[in-house]
Structure 1
Amino acid sequence: MSCVDLETEDRLQYTFFPNRSGICQFRVRASNDAHIALSPSAAETTPMYEIFIGGWGNSKSVIRKNRTKPEVAEVPTPGILTDQDFRGFWVRWENGTISAGNEGEGSPFISFTDYERVPIEYVGFCTGWGARGSWVIEQREGGGPIAPAAYTQGAPYAANACWVASGNGQVPPRPFVGGEDSGETVYVCRSNFNGGLLPGKLVPSHGNGYVSWGGKEHPIYEYEVLCDFAGTWVATSGGNIPSGALAAGQSEDGEPLYVGRVVHDGALTVGKVQPSHGCLYIPYGGKELSFKDYEILVQ
């Protein structure tokens, strides 16, 4: 058994490690929101479980299934994390029971038993909501970390869904083309905004990307660009999400968001598909515009 050091940003993107042992032990230094994912694949998928330690301002810990509310388990844990030193924890999964406890203690501080037996093969780690994390993880199986990537609904994990950090209008090598505006190529990007990770459009000549939220178009100067992706566009409507659709982010409530596009005012514009709203939203002309008929990005 060996230990792996991991640094996580304030991004809510998991780095996955293979682990079929039924237990994960780690130490983490973070001010709040140390998140652990238990998944059948190296991606955020369905089904899966998440354990949020020190969430909601380091006031409570929860277990969530399939990234949906309400939480299946919740306990108050004020001050359980600190960014001053490392705190040790364990997570176990056996016979449908998911549990987490403090290092050196045999009893869990939170647990949940599920009727569905999910085959856990990967464990993911991330931080968010204003926190960065330093981790020391006991590695029980060979292999290094698997880079964070987007969750794909209804299809296997897409290893070629690569998001490259950039900013200020810069375009990384081999970007995925999303559309066109006034003769200029527009690319698929995403960015953290108001507690969500939102798909949007990158317009290089503007020196920034754009996302839509709250009825408005918002410029973003730090973003990730979809690169090295072999995808295509499929016509759909409303909240109909075809198999293989690429989830590129999530709303502030944890709902998966997809990449869509539509022709508007002569421009082929990229935006976010929110299934529960039954539409595509695009950032355009300072506004957030909605469309019931659109194209969605699939593998």
Structure 2
Amino acid sequence: MDTQPLTTDTIARSVWAVPSLARSADGSLNRQENEKIIRHIEQGGISTLLYGGNAIFYHLTLREYRTALEIISEVAAEQTLVIPAVGPAYGTMMDQADVLKDFQFPTVMVLPQRDVISSSGIATGVRKLSEKLGKPIVLYLKFDGVMSAEDAASLVNDGLISAIKYAVVRDDYTKDSYLSALTKKIDTKLILSGLGDQPAIVHMQDFGLSGFTTGCGCVFPKLSIDLLHAIQGGDWDQAETLREKFLPLEELRDSLGPISILHRATELAGIAQTGPITPLLSEPEGSIQERIAAAIKQIQASI
């Protein structure tokens, strides 16, 4: 994997794929099936992998955490940037930091939390985590105003942030006072749209963000890369055409659960056997899986 520190060029060179984490039938992490997922994404042209929500890093045991880090760091291609998540609880992330010291990941992402926190408290936690790891952190802003623009900018100005994943859901993505406040204080080259392919155009065109993360792009990586290139090239009509191709699967994820739908879609698309989904999440019922399979076929027919 790529172990060089992140730069703004690194951030923008690829969509950030957020893949599922495959398990065997007994629930253990499966190296072979995870390698299939990674190869599929890499072969589609994506060179950044972010292991967070879709991989359900929230619920890994500390032993599983080490195993997951071993798999994703050893299987990824030499030029692939791999970013694991930590947290979201402070004690969890600090224990995980001890494990991370045995690996060469250039950065990690703190999973978002909105309970039992404060803006300055998050900033303090990120500072202590960065100090312990000796490297900057990816900040994940998922909830409106959970961290003030001033506190986020302070972390950036002190060199403690490698990138910011911005993922606050809006009814109208063109109107976002929180994102506007952040972009006034922080270089937009450090901020990615963190909600998949759907709001990527607005976030990059209207707010100047540097790139975007993708879930559905883990199933259709070339389509996601083509979308990034269209946006970067200012070909907005082509970008919109590509964005719409994702809708059959994206709409299922939005309405029925982004993590569980992607987990099963990865298997139904024939990419890898992803195995059972981790509690505290649940398996989509049979009728939903039929809808997932139909959505995959619809997208395949359009590309």
TM-score, normalised via structure 1 length: 0.28
Q: Which one scores higher on RCO, CA 8 angstroms, separation ≥ 6?
A: 2
Higher normalized helix content (fraction of residues): 2
Higher normalized strand content (fraction of residues): 1
TM-score, normalised via structure 2 length: 0.28
